[in-house]
Amino acid sequence: MVGYYVTVEPGVKLYVEDINPTGSKTIMFLHGWPLSHEQFEYQFNVLPGMGYRCIGIDWRGFGKSDRPYSGYNLERLADDIRAVVEEMQLKDFVLAGHSTGGAIAIKYIVRYNGGGVSKLVLIDAAAPSGLTKETAAQLLKETLNDRANMMLGVTNIFFFRYITKPFSDWFNQMGMQAAGWSTAAIIVMLRDLDLNADLSRIQVPTLIVHGIHDQVIPFSQAEEMHQKIPHSQLIPFMYSGHASFYDERDKFNQLMRDFVGTAIN
Active site residues: 99, 214, 242
Q: How far does the chain reach from its first CA to its final CA, in angstroms?
A: 16
Cis peptide before 236 (omega within 30 of 0): no
Asked whether the beta carbons of 219 and 211 are under 8 A apart, the reply is yes
List C-alpha distances in Å: 65 to 1, 10, 31, 35, 174. 17, 14, 13, 12, 13
Asked whether the beta carbons of 191 and 208 are under 8 A apart, the reply is no
Cis peptide before 128 (omega within 30 of 0): yes
Which positions ≥6 away from 162 have C-beta within 8 Å?
A: none
Q: Catalogue the E-assigned strands of the chain.
A: 2-9, 12-19, 25-30, 52-57, 93-98, 117-123, 206-211, 232-237
Q: 3-state class of 179 per DSSP?
A: coil
Q: Find the Cα–Cα–Cα–Cα dihedral 116, 120, 123, 125, rounded to 10°.
A: 80
Q: How far apart are CA 91 and CA 94, in angstroms?
A: 9
